[in-house]
A and B are shown apart, each in its own frame.
Chain A
């Protein structure tokens, strides 16, 4: 079974977000990681490979540090990696990314495409869905359990108040939700072997793309940070008086009751 995983490099969950002079998100000195939901996707791909045999390819589009997360996936046990660089692209959106990934996927063999259901940075949860749409594949989102048998995927997903079990024919796009699995650490041996595994570097031009095809359809007009949380207020005094004061403040200051 051939599986392609689409991880994205994101800011570390603990990264401090600041804006630069131009009002863009400051990327200087920020620790970058593999999007945690994509780690679930990589782990699931490896488990499926261990169970059914086959090959796991990791594909990512982005800047010069992207090979770090691809190498992490190789160290975890993926077989090969493809990095499509973002050289020459000033602005991108989900359409850009999905167009590029889908174009590359047309040249790859796959039975299953896995990704995290959303990235923790922009949280738009669009890329996997768009890729499925472009390639005309069925898609199941936010999966917490996945079984593959006889050319079909049976996936469980959380829905409001319960669970849903769905079945799709392969090839399909499946996105991972927390709870699908517990990602493994890459072992020392895996890290050593990773550098011997193939990592292909492509440009957008190599894919025969450029210009309007990959131009963003959505543009961010402004980024702004939440206003800092003001300090909490402690109401002192006898419980009955304090309660009355609290109600007064909730009504008159906070205007919530």
Chain B
């Protein structure tokens, strides 16, 4: 039996996320986009309301949401601002390796104190020469007694250099390729971690993205997730789990662009009538709306698979790829409907278009998603 009816609880949670986006995020989104800063007061408020660490189980201080409900929240927050929703949601990616591979002791030790306060976490996989090609990781972890010593440079890291907790992927033996990659939990106050360059981004500018430099960072062996050589598997399982949520954020951005375009097309009068009375505009709106709806269906389906514990790799990759492409095309169309005003920063749609682009790139480019899908089809 298929049902799209949300539970009463999900409705309440959506309402909470929606009013938070409307009352707290939207009024300051343009300002923080301009300043390229994380709005800390929003992080604190969101944490107090339970809008962060959403899929961390309640016993470790999270909200214990299922993935469908998490997607509902992610859509609403990204509707407000993708950058701010990213700042609030990046913990989901960074903590997922611990949720997937952490022992009860590791979860107790690291997740509980982390979730108790408004803090940020960072997922450190990408390197200057290891983006899509994860096997090329050159950050090393060398065993030294009961410790590993991590050295290397990670780039494009959300919350890089300001995080209280890192999940770091490093190789213990470069000659082993993917089988050398190992995942570590690294507290943010460990000596030797520093922030490199803070990136200046096209969009998504209220989230903090920077290089992270690891210089002789000593991590006890108890902080290894699973065991040596399991890092690649953990990273892939993490991305399987988080991709649908990127898709959910993309639906939020696309829906915002659609709603702004509808509103504007009713107000803007040219040739003596609102432009929405032109079929050319109507067809654009109809296509945009159809894309938003279909993207959401795929996202919810992927999240449902995750909640059922069913294989999600293919559908999750489709959800992320498709929703991100939808966000891009719908935001481009929204700017077009706004015409010259759409190109101006006084109106909200150019930001949506700048924001949307990152959705096609981060957490696996859309080309990589297509590879994942094709591999599943041809396996």
In the complex, which residues of chain B have a beta carbon less than 8 angstroms from the beta carbon of A68? 8, 11
In the complex, which residues of chain B have a beta carbon less than 8 angstroms from the beta carbon of A71? 8, 12
In the complex, which residues of chain A have a beta carbon less than 8 angstroms from the beta carbon of B130? none
B19 and A188 contact, CB distance less than 8 A = no
In the complex, which residues of chain A have a beta carbon less than 8 angstroms from the beta carbon of B50? 187-189
A56 CA / B313 CA spacing, docked (Å): 48
CB contact list, B61-114 vs A, under 8 A: 63-65
B20 proximal to A (CB < 8 A): yes
The stretch of A109-117, A118-126, A191-199, A209-217 that contacts the partner chain: A191-199
B374 proximal to A (CB < 8 A): no
CB contact list, A176-191 vs B, under 8 A: 185-189, 191
Interface size for chain B: under 10, 10 to 19, 20 to 34, or 35 or more residues? 10 to 19
B49 and A195 contact, CB distance less than 8 A = no
A186 CA / B18 CA spacing, docked (Å): 12
Q: B36-78 CB contact bits vs A (8 Å, 1 = yes)?
A: 0000000000001111001000000001110000000000000
- Please name the residue on chain A nearest to B73 by beta carbon: A188
A72 proximal to B (CB < 8 A): yes
For the complex formed, measure the closest distance between the CB of B70 and the CB atoms of chain A, giving whole angstroms.
11
B48 and A191 contact, CB distance less than 8 A = no
B51 contact from A188, A192, A194, A195, Cβ within 8 A: A188
In the complex, which residues of chain A have a beta carbon less than 8 angstroms from the beta carbon of B15? 72
Q: B178-211 CB contact bits vs A (8 Å, 1 = yes)?
A: 0000000000000000000000000000000000
B49 contact from A67, A72, A188, A194, Cβ within 8 A: A188
A188 and B63 contact, CB distance less than 8 A = yes
Chain A CB within 10 A, most for which of B8, B12, B50, B54: B12
B16 proximal to A (CB < 8 A): yes
A189 CA / B61 CA spacing, docked (Å): 11
In the complex, which residues of chain A have a beta carbon less than 8 angstroms from the beta carbon of B65? 188
A191 CA / B19 CA spacing, docked (Å): 14
B12 and A75 contact, CB distance less than 8 A = yes
For the complex formed, measure the closest distance between the CB of B255 and the CB atoms of chain A, giving whole angstroms.
16
Chain A CB within 10 A, most for which of B16, B20, B64: B16
Chain B CB within 10 A, most for which of A67, A75, A185, A187: A185
- Please name the residue on chain A nearest to B50 by beta carbon: A188
A72 and B12 contact, CB distance less than 8 A = yes
A107 CA / B63 CA spacing, docked (Å): 38
A187 and B48 contact, CB distance less than 8 A = yes
In the complex, which residues of chain A have a beta carbon less than 8 angstroms from the beta carbon of B20? 185
A194 and B16 contact, CB distance less than 8 A = no
A195 and B8 contact, CB distance less than 8 A = yes
For the complex formed, measure the closest distance between the CB of B71 and the CB atoms of chain A, giving whole angstroms.
15
For the complex formed, measure the closest distance between the CB of B79 and the CB atoms of chain A, giving whole angstroms.
16
A187 CA / B20 CA spacing, docked (Å): 11
CB contact list, B278-323 vs A, under 8 A: none
B346 proximal to A (CB < 8 A): no
In the complex, which residues of chain B have a beta carbon less than 8 angstroms from the beta carbon of A191? 9, 12-13, 16
A192 and B9 contact, CB distance less than 8 A = yes
Can you pick out 23 interface pairs between chain A and chain B where the beta carbons lie within 8 Å of each other?
A68-B8, A68-B11, A71-B8, A71-B12, A72-B12, A75-B12, A185-B16, A185-B19, A186-B16, A187-B16, A187-B48, A187-B49, A188-B16, A188-B50, A188-B54, A188-B63, A188-B65, A189-B63, A191-B9, A192-B9, A194-B9, A195-B8, A195-B9
A interface residues, Cβ below 8 angstroms from B:
67-68, 71-72, 75, 185-189, 191-192, 194-195
**Extra inter-chain contacts (5) besides given A72-B15, A194-B12, CB under 8 Å:** A68-B11, A185-B20, A187-B49, A188-B63, A195-B8
B interface residues, Cβ below 8 angstroms from A:
8-9, 11-13, 15-16, 19-20, 48-51, 54, 63-65
